[in-house]
């Protein structure tokens, strides 16, 4: 029907089935394999197709079809008519979300990251532009061409946990885990999971996956990536901290005048929060969570060892039933034209 987005390795089109009377719309990503081969980026498109075939989750894309035409590869997925969180944030008062709205979006992103990590997938490109909003107001993570996919996921049992929520000091202290076996992606559903003792967490987390590639958006890359070091799953938890910060405060914490300045700030500058107003109790909890996620040492960063199960226990998410988050009412339900989506309803920006 028309082009709705473009990026580094392809274009996205709004589509419908010819002769379809129910006005169902789809997003079709089209990549030119010859162009990608010349740019040595063909592997990125193949990685995204591989990951899309693995996904089955309400906050992740549904792949409806894939096909090739001449030297073009096409994937047909669900269309999100509500735009992305970057554009939605800019429509808010002071260009930032109310704390409850930020917590809602953070919760759904956290659940999506947990699922990806259980499949051995490190996302590596979390940012508001890649968090799309469906017509019902719930989110969908998009674009997986920068993701890292591990063949094995370390299954770890955490040390015994206190029934009380962790204190801010606990969140920043070094943590240890006891690995008891590794499970393969292909055999995940057939493996028996060991029964754990009370107050212990089972975690399937790609803690052993490593990469030395520099990938991601500058304001969201972790210190280990900015410093040219190898990285693993902890990069997603760093990006999650930047994401929450931007949702609440309307900007990222380490942005500089140039990409080089931003990377220097990420590596060297301490984390700071706005001081223009007194923080409420809920915002204090949010700041504590962000501080734990934005620890520059990936070895002690919140979530790096016990994954989403550890992040979920933070007081910022107290009272949420993660199993029923899909039933929560979104803070804002985007309005769309049922007959034809708005021209600027959704843009893809990270091929």
Please list the active-site residues.
125
- Give me 72's structure tokens: 């073009």
What CA–CA distance (Å, rounded) separates 94 from 324? 31
- Give me 280's structure tokens: 């409420």
**Element holding 14 (H helix, E strand):** strand 11-15
What CA–CA distance (Å, rounded) separates 9 from 224? 26
What's 61's DSSP letter? Answer: P
- Give me 240's structure tokens: 């999650």
Sign of CA dihedral 287, 289, 293, 299: positive
**Main-chain dihedrals φ then ψ at residue 118, nearest 5 degrees:** -65, -25
**Main-chain dihedrals φ then ψ at residue 263, nearest 5 degrees:** -65, -40
- Give me 81's structure tokens: 């008519």
SS3 215: coil
- Give me 129's structure tokens: 């532009």
DSSP H helices, 95-176, are 99-118, 168-172
| Residue 328 CB partners (closer than 8 Å, separation 6+) | 104
Query: Residues 88, 82: contact at Cβ < 8 Å?
Result: yes
């Amino acid at each position: 029907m028309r082009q709705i987005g473009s990026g580094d390795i392809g274009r996205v089109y709004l589509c419908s089935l010819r002769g379809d009377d129910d006005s169902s719309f789809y997003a079709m990503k089209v990549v030119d394999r010859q162009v990608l081969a010349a740019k040595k980026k063909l592997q990125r498109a193949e990685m995204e197709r591989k990951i899309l075939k693995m996904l089955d989750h309400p906050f992740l894309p549904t792949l409806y079809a894939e096909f090739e035409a001449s030297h073009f590869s096409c994937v047909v997925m669900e269309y999100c008519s509500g735009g992305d969180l970057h554009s939605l944030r800019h429509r808010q008062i002071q260009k930032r979300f109310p704390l409850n709205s930020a917590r809602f979006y953070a919760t759904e992103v956290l659940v999506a990251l947990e699922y990806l990590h259980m499949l051995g997938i490190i996302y590596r490109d979390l940012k508001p532009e890649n968090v799309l909003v469906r017509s019902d107001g719930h989110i969908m993570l998009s674009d997986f061409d920068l993701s890292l996919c591990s063949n094995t996921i370390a299954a770890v049992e955490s040390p015994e946990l206190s029934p009380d929520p962790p204190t801010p000091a606990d969140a920043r202290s070094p943590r240890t885990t006891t690995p008891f076996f590794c499970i393969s992606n292909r055999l995940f559903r057939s493996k028996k999971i060991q029964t754990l003792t009370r107050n212990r967490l089972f975690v399937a987390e790609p803690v052993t996956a490593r990469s030395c590639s520099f990938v991601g958006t500058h304001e969201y890359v972790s210190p280990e990536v900015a410093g040219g070091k190898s990285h693993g799953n902890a990069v997603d938890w760093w990006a999650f901290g930047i994401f929450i910060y931007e949702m609440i405060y309307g900007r990222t914490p380490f942005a500089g005048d140039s990409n080089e300045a931003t990377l220097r700030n990420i590596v060297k500058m301490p984390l700071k929060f706005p001081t223009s107003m007194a923080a409420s109790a809920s915002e204090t909890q949010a700041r504590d969570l962000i501080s734990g996620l934005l620890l520059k040492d990936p070895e002690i960063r919140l979530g790096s060892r016990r994954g989403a199960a550890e992040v979920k226990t933070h007081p910022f998410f107290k009272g949420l039933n993660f199993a029923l988050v899909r039933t929560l009412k979104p803070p804002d339900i985007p309005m769309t034209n049922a007959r034809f989506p708005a021209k600027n309803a959704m843009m893809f920006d990270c091929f």
